Structure 1
Amino acid sequence: MSQSTLGEFEEIVVIIVAILNGDAYSVNIINEIDNRLNRKVSLGAIQTVLKRLEKKGLLKSEFGGATKERGGKRKRLYEITTQGHEIIDQTRIQRNLLWEAMPKLSLNLF
């Protein structure tokens, strides 16, 4: 895996795509971020980060079938790649190491 880092929003999007497991498209990702994190995100911001993550090789996409609900328009469905899984696993491990290194006294301040 190439040495790559994720910004905070990129990390969230990759994890949400993994959570949605085959049903990840722009609007659904936005709704999931809002529901899980109570965070409002614009369609433009999601589309930009999805393209960037796909270019990095962390996500891949393909068009789903056309639906009547969307006026015959097809959804672009996103899926996490093996490299995407590796980087979020690496990121989780790094974050856990930082949390574990924090003195217990500091943890009681929250």
Structure 2
Amino acid sequence: MIETQLGEFEEVILLLVGILDKDAYAFRIAEEFEVQTKRAASIGAVHSALTRLNNKGFVTSKMSSATAERGGRRKRIYALTAYGRKALQSARDFRMNLWDQYPGFATS
């Protein structure tokens, strides 16, 4: 059975894939992770998370066209799937439900 829950790191990486959209490739995701969290993430950790997210069906990937800036090399661009968007929504709903139950932050 494939694990469908998101860990914190995977959740942030999945969110960044959605935020970066057509610019969502591993190196750019790692850069944006550091900007958003003020924490470094190795490119290996980002690749591992993207592989896990792909195996869970939360992202797909395709190779871009070659670019001169990369010496003719192509990039693997990641995109959210509908299942990935649903997983993010479920994670958000779960966290918001918990926050709403915490007396110090409850809105009701």
TM-score (norm 2): 0.92
* Corresponding position of 1:17: 17
How far off its partner does 1:7 sit? 0.7
Q: C-alpha deviations, 1:17-58, integer Å up to 9, x for none? A: 001112100110011111111110001111111111101100
Aligned residues: 104
Query: In 1, Cα distance between the equivalents of 2:32 and 2:58?
Result: 19
| Structure 1 consecutive aligned stretches of length 4 or more whose deviation exceeds 6 Å | none
CA RMSD of aligned residues (A): 1.3
Whose strand proportion is higher, 1 or 2?
1
- The percentage of counterpart residues that share the same residue type is 39
Residues 1:94 and 2:85 aligned together: no
Residues 1:8 and 2:18 aligned together: no
Any unmatched runs of 5+ in structure 2? Answer: none
Letter in 2 for 1:79: A
TM-score (norm 1): 0.90
Any unmatched runs of 5+ in structure 1? Answer: none
